[in-house]
Amino acid sequence: MYVAVKGGEAAINAAHRLLADRRRGERSLPSVTIDQIVEQLALAVDRVMAEASLYDRALAALAVRQSRGDLIEAIFLLRAYRTTLPRFGTSVPVDTARMAIERRISATYKDLPGGQVLGPTFDYTHRLLDPSLLRQDDVEEPARKEPLPGTMTRVSDILAGEGLIEEDGSLPDDRPAGDLTREPMEFPMGRDLRLQALARGDEGFLLALGYSTQRGFGRNHPFVGEIRIGEVEVEMEVPELGFAVSLGRIQVTECQMVNQFKGSAKAPPQFTRGYGLVFGQSERKAMSMSLVDRALRAEELGEDVTAPAQDEEFVISHADNVQATGFVEHLKLPHYVDFQAELALVRKMRSDIEAAKSEVAGAEANSAEQ
Amino acid sequence: MTASQPSSSAEDVPRRRTAKLLSSAQLGELTSAWEKLPYKPKATPLRGPETGLVMVRGRIGGGGAPFNLGEATVTRATILLESGTAGHSHALGTDKSKAKLAAIFDALWQEEETRSFVEEEILKPIERRVTAEDRRQAEETAATRVDFFTMVRGDD
């Protein structure tokens, strides 16, 4: 039950003024700029873009700054901003095979066309705090080398040649891709809608679910077929021009998980696949997404649905951190009247029990006297 | 010329290149070219500049059925020159000044007298910059490629 509560206005204004002060912090220090956040906290910015489901580095950085680095708050801000804008259209599907590669690795093939390219990775660092970063030291320019010619073949295309791996997921041609931002959620949903939900899902939640499949709750025997990070071209059909124009490039991370599969009543023994695609550089998220995508295909592949990660309604309904934070955090709003009602109820139950006890005690005393 | 009839006949190719290069322009590149223009044309705004969203699609498994990945901000503008030529621009991001100038240059590119100016002062410099940036990035990435070698152990 909600009842309007008045009288907080002055306190709220003062609280927001205090928030602005604490956000600015010590005034003798320089204020952090949006460009600095974009350049130097790039992966925080990427996470905000991915989970807000809105690609715009400058706006995501503004949100990070406004939220004092609280990334879920930043995601909330960016989601709210997107609702103020009209939609001009839908892009031509991005072609990740033609990505300008910044990183590409495979755990299934050592020598694959284009090779293993590490890019700017935390892997193989020693995870020791680096005191040199306490100073503003000049950083070496990156090493350079002659690039290999040609595009990098997708690992899934290599295995597909032998017919040992399932193809890219198809849906009926006449079925347009579903859009969670336009239609209410209904279960069961198609893989297209699930992937949209997972792409904007909370990284921590998907990481935990992916981990749970590895620990035996819906095990699906994964191998990283390929992870690639880089820029892809975004094109949109423009009716006035009559052709697709380039809008520019965005950075994405793609993960092709390859899963051993012993076959079932519905499918022969072969490698099945889970897919992850995320805005920005976000390898952990793309990997988690592909593990969960595969787990959620249990029913389609005729596997027993026994674990949380395989339960579509459970996973998709709880993956969105803006929805989750809204419902959890609403508990701190005034519930004075609800609580008064509960209090009266508990008092009544208590007094009923007390009354019943004294009745029993009275009856016992009576029978003892006789 | 309908939206459902996608892409490119051969005559679209130069126009598509122009649109692509203008979308990857930096505001500074457009303003400095504008300052160099000997005669500043009058451009009437027909639409925008306005910011909106495009829903970016991916494909399941990389090459399968399309799905909606997430949205991106796009700013677009349409202008009309006094000659009657319309210019369009579309680019990721929220830069309205860039969108307006890009639409003007799109129109100027379509006019015979100004096409070579747009080509020499805008398109070619942008093309050179983008190519150089891509080249640098490719070289930096290539330096992190693993060159495996095999250690032979024990007696043969």
Task: For residue A104, tell me if it sits in a domain.
Answer: yes
The rounded distance, in Å, linking the Cα atoms of B123 and B106 is 10
How many inter-chain contacts (A to B, CB under 8 Å) are there?
252
State whether A21 and A160 are in the same domain.
no
Task: For residue A368, tell me if it sits in a domain.
Answer: no
Give mean pLDDT, residues A133-146: 89
Task: For residue A163, tell me if it sits in a domain.
Answer: yes
Task: For residue A245, tell me if it sits in a domain.
Answer: yes
Per-residue pLDDT tens digits for A211-224: 999 999 998 899 99
pLDDT, mean over chain A: 91
State whether A48 and A101 are in the same domain.
no
Using an 8 Å CB-CB cutoff, list chain A residues near B74: 88, 236, 247
pLDDT, mean over chain B: 89
Task: Let me know: does A271 contact A164? Beta carbons within 8 Å.
Answer: yes
Task: For residue A91, tell me if it sits in a domain.
Answer: no
The rounded distance, in Å, linking the Cα atoms of A300 and A316 is 17
Using the Cβ of B154 and the Cβ atoms of chain A, whether some distance falls under 8 Å is answered with: no
CB contact under 8 A, B72 and A250: yes
State whether A70 and A157 are in the same domain.
no
Per-residue pLDDT tens digits for B2-33: 334 444 566 688 889 999 999 999 999 999 99
State whether A77 and A154 are in the same domain.
no
**pLDDT for position B9:** 66
Q: What's the structural domain count of chain A?
A: 2
Q: From B20, which residue of chain A is nearest by alpha-carbon distance?
A: A246
Give mean pLDDT, residues A292-317: 94
CB contact under 8 A, A177 and B65: yes
Closest CA to A145 of B144, B68, B97: B144
Give mean pLDDT, residues A125-136: 88
pLDDT at residue B1 above 90?
no
- How much is the pTM? 0.91
Secondary structure (3-state) at B148: coil
Q: What residues does each domain of chain B span?
A: 13-49+77-132
Q: From B137, which residue of chain A is nearest by alpha-carbon distance?
A: A102
Task: Let me know: does A297 contact A218? Beta carbons within 8 Å.
Answer: no
State whether A65 and A163 are in the same domain.
no
State whether A157 and A239 are in the same domain.
yes
- Cα-to-chain-centroid distance, residue A13: 33
State whether A78 and A100 are in the same domain.
no
Q: What percent of chain A has pLDDT over 70?
A: 97
Task: Let me know: does A130 contact A252? Beta carbons within 8 Å.
Answer: no
Residue B120 is given by DSSP the state I
Q: What's chain A's length in residues?
A: 370
Using the Cβ of A249 and the Cβ atoms of chain B, whether some distance falls under 8 Å is answered with: yes
Task: For residue A331, tell me if it sits in a domain.
Answer: no
Using the Cβ of B17 and the Cβ atoms of chain A, whether some distance falls under 8 Å is answered with: no
State whether A219 and A316 are in the same domain.
yes
pLDDT at residue A2 above 70?
no
Give mean pLDDT, residues A93-112: 91
Task: For residue A283, tell me if it sits in a domain.
Answer: yes
pLDDT at residue B137 above 60?
yes
Using an 8 Å CB-CB cutoff, list chain B residues near A254: 62
Using an 8 Å CB-CB cutoff, list chain B residues near A97: 62-63
pLDDT at residue A15 above 50?
yes
**pLDDT for position A1:** 54
Q: How far is B143 from chain A (nearest CA, A)?
A: 5
- Domain of residue A151: give its range: 96-123+147-169+182-326
Per-residue pLDDT tens digits for A167-184: 887 777 677 899 999 988
Task: For residue A361, tell me if it sits in a domain.
Answer: no
Question: Which residues are registered as beta bridge partners of A273?
Answer: A258
State whether A194 and A261 are in the same domain.
yes
Structure tokens that stand for B84 in this block: 């009657």
Per-residue pLDDT tens digits for A278-304: 999 999 999 999 999 999 999 988 888
Give mean pLDDT, residues A93-115: 90
Q: What is the ipTM of this complex?
A: 0.90
Q: Which amino acid is at A91?
A: S
